[in-house]
Structures are given as C-alpha cells and as structure tokens.
Amino acid sequence: MDFELHEESLKDVISIIQDIFEADISKIETKKNKYFPKKKIIGISLNDIEQKLGMSIKETTLLSILKRLEIKLLKKTKSIFNFEVPSHRFDLSIKEDLIEEIARMIGYDNLPQIKSDPVSQNYETSEYDFLNAIKVFMKNKGFLEVINYSFWMQKFWKI
C-alpha cells in the first residue's frame, strides 16, 4: 500500500462530500511517527550505470529517464546522484533497481551485448576436500543420503 496515498484519497472524498452536501470541512491534519515509512533515497553514479549496462549514458539522458519515472533528483555531488523514489515504487530499493529501470527505458535491444566471464566455483579449501572425500567414500560403500524427520511432531507423520 502506498503510504502517501491516504492523504490524497481523503482530499478526494472530502471534495465529493463538499460537492454533494455543500458541507464545510475542517482542515486535514496528518501526523507521522517514527514507525511511518520513510521515502527511499538511492545514490548512483554514471560510472555505476556504465559498468552495469556496458555503455555510457549522458547526465541529461539519465535525468530525463528518471523524471519520466517520477524519480526526483534530490542532490548531485561531483559524481553521485541522490534520487528520491516515489512511495508507490516498492520495487526500487537499491542502485541496481534504478539501473534496471534505466535499461528498460533505453530498451534492452539497444544495450550492447557483452560476453560475461564464466562463473567458476573455487572449492580449494581443505574442509571441502575432506567432506567431499567422506561423501564419495560412503557412496562407494553403498550408503545413501537420508533425510529424516525425527524431530517432527507425530501428527505431521500421517500423510
């Protein structure tokens, strides 16, 4: 639920009541306590965007795209832009979310195709080698891995 929508909704309802009943309505007063959600602020640099998208983007293009998405520029330092995310955009919380939105607005087909490095897992620890050796040994001796529910309550055993 958009935590800023209630005040606008209340104003709309009051306007309808005033039109229908010609009523005088008192001023709307809202209070926010420490539990009230705060607006999200995300810092991002042009370098962050270039690294993730594989292409450079002009500052004017960045600001234009985010303005169309109702994302406001709060502050700009030498290299960091701080943006305020609208309260209805629950999906935006980190800079990668903003980069994803920028990519979407540019168009995924317009992004350069970059071959990524293969991902490899490094299992060069002695603990892994020892545990893996035990598993292989037990498997070769005919043992099977079993999942058992000995700590479950008996009522869950009946299927």
Weakest mean pLDDT among 34-38, 108-112, 121-125:
121-125
Distance CA(88)–CA(81), nearest Å, equals: 21
pLDDT of the residue at 157: 63
pLDDT of the residue at 75: 92
Distance CA(27)–CA(11), nearest Å, equals: 10
Per-residue pLDDT for 120 more than 80?
no
Distance CA(87)–CA(70), nearest Å, equals: 10
Tens-place pLDDT, residues 47-77: 999 999 999 999 999 999 999 999 999 999 9
Instruction: For helices 46-53 and 59-68, give the axis angle rounded to 10 degrees.
Output: 90
Give percent above pLDDT 70 in the chain.
89
pLDDT of the residue at 66: 94
Four-CA torsion 60, 65, 70, 74, nearest 10 degrees = -30
Tens-place pLDDT, residues 93-109: 999 999 999 999 999 99
Contact 54, 114 (CB under 8 A): yes
Predicted confidence band at 90 (pLDDT cuts at 50, 70, 90)?
confident
Residues in the chain, overall count: 159
- DSSP E strand boundaries for 30-148: 41-45, 72-76, 80-84
pTM of the entire predicted model: 0.60
**Domain residue extents for the chain:** 1-31, 39-110
Architecture of domain 39-110: 2-Layer Sandwich (3.30)
Per-residue pLDDT, averaged over 141-145, amounts to 87
- DSSP E strand boundaries for 19-97: 41-45, 72-76, 80-84
Predicted confidence band at 159 (pLDDT cuts at 50, 70, 90)?
low
Predicted confidence band at 156 (pLDDT cuts at 50, 70, 90)?
low
Weakest mean pLDDT among 5-14, 25-34, 138-147, 149-158:
149-158
